[in-house]
Structure 1
Amino acid sequence: MKHPFSNRADPDPRSTPWEIISLMVATDVKPVLEIAARFVLLAIFCISAAIWLDMALAVYWLLVYMLAETVNIAFLATRRAPASRAEEWLATGLNFVTTLWFATLPVYLWQFESQVLKFAAVSLLAGMVIYSVTRYSGLRRIVIWDGLLISAIALYFGYDLARHAEGTVTMALSMLFSVLLVAYFLISLQENLAAQRALKQAEKRHVQAQKMEAVGQLTGGIAHDFNNLLTVMIGNLDLYQEVSDPSEKDMLADEARQAALRAATLTSQLLAFSHKARLDPRPVNPARLLENFTAMTTRVLPDSVTLQLELADPPQSVTVDVHQLENALLNLVINARDAMEDNGIVTIGLDRIQTRHAREFGGVRLPPGVYARISVTDTGPGIAPEDLGTVTEPFFTTKQVGKGSGLGLSMAKGFVEQSGGALELTSTPGQGATFAFWLPSQTPEADDQEGACP
């Protein structure tokens, strides 16, 4: 016979400790309003029972429960990925202890002859049933524990009613009703688990479908771009064999070489996008690097585009691949130039930011620390709100055909993430856009010890 909590309704048995703890955080930490309401209602009930029913023990029970729940919530709230298996077992253990202590209250209240207290005991048990069915559907270990504990309490209530019943028929009906209720609870819990399992599998299939769609778009874009480049190279080489004019041969060979170089650049961008580029990070002075970059880039921009540099409390050093950083910045500057249609102001900024809390940009979580923020801001039309989440995807471009591969921003994002940082994007339609690299920097103390880097 299959156990009512069989693996058919389990979460993936290969779930990592962090995935399990994340589910517990979502159920025991994030619903702040529900947790506060629970504490308040229990406090009102226990204090009322101590005052009007002379049940001083209710206050002691409340204090122990709040202490256990506080420890449980504090432990979960301070966990960080990746969690260990020991942390997973400790988290579930704290949950078990808290649930077991909570269950002692309805059992204790059931001992009294007062109908009010018996009603309170049944209400608390009903609350445990609802909590178990709706909150812990993804945690098999906790569901089994809660299901067995609730079933045992319900059967005990039914047995106690039957024991004090008048007549055999009443006794049999009391036991039958309690058993049927427990059976219904277990079946409902199993079906809810199965539904949650099916939902989770559907979500996984949806995510997999999205991944395959992205892979299809990526390979299609690569094939299209490489096909264009190969067509140029093969066409020019075929013509090279047919023409006799040396100057025309040189022109054809140069065009073929330029196409090959663009293919090499495309390969480099793909490596950066996939976080597989070969980086040569070394400590550099970011202010000096940007001064040289700005002076060099000004000469290749049209006179109608103003390039300016703003340094605000720049960090002393940052460890980064200089060549890749300059390529990424050049991509941002060219995008800004094209967005402004060769008329406007591009501002390259640098400032030092010290964060005391984790920050998240585009799904990348940066821990607290000191960062060099290198930004490129333009005065163009900005980015449409519906495009903010897709502009860094590969081959996304608003340029005309042949004007760009659509890999510039994805390459920049891949480079900065491979360097341990993140890409921040902010834009207001009609007021331009800002792309900023957050790169880990040295602490001020380390900067003072090492000095400025060349």
Structure 2
Amino acid sequence: MDHRKELDRLYKMEYGEPLEFAFRCVLVLTGAIIHFQYTGMTTALFWCLGFFLSHALYFMTLRTRPEYCTEFDTLKAGSVFLVMLAAFVWWPASLITQDDIALRISGTAGTGTLLVFLINRSDSLKWMVYGEIAIIFAAVGLIIAVEMVAVDNAAARWVMGFSGLALVAYFSRTLLAARTQRLETEAASVRSVQAQKMEAVGQLAGGVAHDFNNILTAVTGNLELYEVIDDPKERDQFVAEARLAADRAATLVGHLLAYSRKSTLSLSTFPVGRVFDQVNTLSARLLPSSIDLSFDSEDASQPIRVDQNQLMTALINLIVNARDAMGRSGTLAIRSRACAFEEPTALLDGSMLDPGCYVEIAVTDNGPGIPAHILRKVTEPFFTTKEIGEGSGLGLSMVEGFARQSKGGLMIDTSPDGTTIRMYLPSPIACERAVEVDNTVVNAVPAAA
């Protein structure tokens, strides 16, 4: 077992949702105060104090977990949880034995809530599950024992005993079944992820082999012709063709590095308008006159911190993709604006964009859009809908890899009226610019059709 991973899971399960944990604490505190006001019993306050002290101990145990955890660390954390469980359950159990019907209902509700909570946890460590069952068995046994003293009828005692054992037995079975189901689901998820990785590796290897085979064929073919031809001009042409094929190989390797997020980035901070000016100049040779290209920046001096050359390459790839999607005629708009995300946001590839300040660069075309059934595949390496020889299928994968390596991300919004591809790239002062322009924090996620 990965003990660090298990302790991380326990911490996230108990304290990963602050609102839910705060809700539990409020319920316990409110319940203790109400019971004290109703009965005058100080034990309610001692119970509340014990609950919070044991929770504080459990929190510190998990919060201070070492980077490399051992079985002892897991044993310590699990033992503290069982102590915390025992510190909670004794009060609801004791209320069930009271003569006051209000207290009995309160105790039953508290105990039932605890059973649901434990089933929902379905802890991974079997000894923890058995410990939880033992504590619940002890609590139910205490209730039955106290109640039996007040009952003279032997048949009633048998009914009470049977009911208590049935409750514990069914709870134990349900708890163990929930644990087994959760572990099986996690194992199936791991197998599925591994299978997807192997499929991606196979697809990547096949694509690389195919493209490099074509490139090597061009290199070796031209070099062979160089050896058998005597005309200097023709020989120079063969060398030029071989060099051109080698350049294509270098470009392919660059795209692969960008996709795998292993390329070396030369980070610098510069205004987004500078890149727009350079891309506008380069795009004149890429786009026919039938495509209307426009650039619009919320603030041309807006700073952005990425590799400038990689950003230009990414924008050129997006422009070429949009050109091909529109059938070489239409409108193409490139815009930028400051934005901020307050919470982690899901990206197209399933990863999460961290909260923070970004510059959004959106490339919008009025082409036919991306079919829904292939939307998730468009950023996969070597996936392309173009004819053979018209594209390597690495354009969007390179853009996504560059965005993620730059601590940003990629989103796609598409419909039959066109497609917008949004790159989110980190900016040192984008938040301030966003507040100045919108007077609100932007936190909108585009929906993919």
TM over 0.5: yes
- The total of aligned residue pairs comes to 421
Match in the other structure for 2:115: 129
Distance 1:180 1:162 in 2: 16
TM-score (norm 2): 0.78
Q: Does 1:405 align with 2:395?
A: no
Q: Does 1:267 align with 2:247?
A: no
Deviation at 1:188, TM superposition (A): 4.2
Match in the other structure for 1:152: 138
Distance 1:93 1:28 in 2: 23
Deviation at 1:229, TM superposition (A): 1.4
In structure 2, the CA distance between the partners of 1:63 and 1:41, relative to structure 1 (3 Å rule), is closer
Q: How does 1:8-407 map to 2 (within 5 A)?
A: 13-15=3-5, 17-24=7-14, 55=39, 64=48, 85=65, 99-100=85-86, 102-113=88-99, 118=104, 121-122=107-108, 124-138=110-124, 143-144=129-130, 146-166=132-152, 178=164, 181-183=167-169, 185-362=171-348, 363-407=350-394
Distance 1:436 1:85 in 2: 39
Cα RMSD over matched residues?
A: 4.3
Deviation at 1:68, TM superposition (A): 5.8
Q: Which moved more, 1:339-348 or 1:355-364?
A: 355-364
Distance 2:134 2:422 in 1: 54
The residue matched to 1:132 in structure 2 has which SS?
helix
| Residue pair 1:315, 1:351 contacting (<8 A) in 2 also | no
Task: Give, as a single letter, the amino acid of the residue that structure 1 aligns with 2:65.
Answer: R
Q: Which runs of 5+ in 2 are unaligned?
A: 68-72, 434-449
Deviation at 1:60, TM superposition (A): 6.4
In structure 2, the CA distance between the partners of 1:200 and 1:300, relative to structure 1 (3 Å rule), is closer
Deviations 1:306-342 (A, max 9, x none): 2211111245422221111111111111001111111
Deviation at 1:172, TM superposition (A): 7.4
Deviations 1:367-405 (A, max 9, x none): 443322222211211112222222111111111111111
Deviation at 1:111, TM superposition (A): 3.1
In structure 2, the CA distance between the partners of 1:195 and 1:293, relative to structure 1 (3 Å rule), is closer
The residue matched to 1:220 in structure 2 has which SS?
helix
Distance 1:359 1:208 in 2: 24
| Residue pair 1:92, 1:142 contacting (<8 A) in 2 also | yes
| Residue pair 2:255, 2:395 contacting (<8 A) in 1 also | yes
In structure 2, the CA distance between the partners of 1:317 and 1:26, relative to structure 1 (3 Å rule), is closer
Give percent identity, aligned residues only.
34
Deviation at 1:189, TM superposition (A): 2.7
Q: Which runs of 5+ in 1 are unaligned?
A: 1-10, 77-81, 448-454
Q: Does 1:425 align with 2:417?
A: no
TM-score (norm 1): 0.77
Task: Find the partner of 1:416 among 399, 403, 406.
Answer: 403
